[in-house]
Chain A
Amino acid sequence: KAGVTQTPRYLIKTRGQQVTLSCSPISGHRSVSWYQQTPGQGLQFLFEYFSETQRNKGNFPGRFSGRQFSNSRSEMNVSTLELGDSALYLCASSGWTGPNTEAFFGQGTRLTVV
């Protein structure tokens, strides 16, 4: 069974640009969540998509957005990049059946904003 695949693994962007990150969940999983990981703030929840609908949203500005396709693949977009957006972005896939369901994480996309 293939794991969670995130592409690209590494990305360098300039301030003001926008970026799109991709996440392919485990086959059969309909829930995809996104997290931002930084040394200062740790792991912070961005949003969750379940069956193409955003079900939960963290406390991030509107520059951060996402979507989920009918095959459960998800994309995350960040517009007008700032230096502080440099982080490891992790995607978590879940065959969610309740809050007791574990999540499977991808290896992440390392975004560097210069």
Chain B
Amino acid sequence: AQSVTQLDSQVPVFEEAPVELRCNYSSSVSVYLFWYVQYPNQGLQLLLKYLSGSTLVESINGFEAEFNKSQTSFHLRKPSVHISDTAEYFCAVSSTGNQFYFGTGTSLTVIP
């Protein structure tokens, strides 16, 4: 069985401060992990994904996530957040077929 736990439902952070959004997973098979972002009244957009190889994965807009197999975690980090990063962030693990198991989401609010 596969599942994802996002430990923080809401994370407020000041602009230009660092942030970490936590994600833990449970999977009995090979792990493929994803972070998606959802802006208000929008669908989900892929932020980054871990497939294999290097445990540190980076996105084009400054986010990064580190796959830690021993701690079964895939935390998302950004060293300096912007107002435009305010959104809902979802961690997900994929399964057979085009099926994802999503966490409950973390609402990131960047405070000016």
Contacts and interface: CB of A to CB of B under 8 A. Distances in A.
Given A90-B44, A105-B44, A100 B32 contact: yes
Given A42-B105, A43-B90, A100-B51, A56 B45 contact: no
A45 interface: yes
A102 B49 contact: yes
Contacts of B102: 35, 42-43
B112 interface: no
B98 A42 contact: no
A96 B105 contact: no
Contacts of A6: 43
B30 interface: yes
A101 B96 CA distance: 10
User: What is the interface of chain B mostly: helix, strand, loop, or mixed?
Assistant: loop
A33 interface: yes
A94 interface: yes
A75 interface: no
B94 A33 contact: no
A106 B46 CA distance: 12
User: What is the interface of chain A mostly: helix, strand, loop, or mixed?
Assistant: strand
Contacts of A4: 43
A42 B103 contact: yes
A31 interface: yes
B61 interface: no
A33 B43 contact: no
Interface in B21-44: 30, 32, 34, 36, 41-44
Interface of A: 4, 6, 31-33, 35, 42-43, 45, 48, 50, 55-56, 90, 92, 94, 96, 99-108
Interface of B: 30, 32, 34, 36, 41-46, 49, 51-52, 90, 94-105
Given A33-B97, A42-B103, A48-B98, 12 more contacts: A33-B100, A35-B102, A42-B104, A43-B90, A48-B99, A50-B98, A56-B95, A96-B98, A99-B32, A100-B94, A101-B98, A102-B46
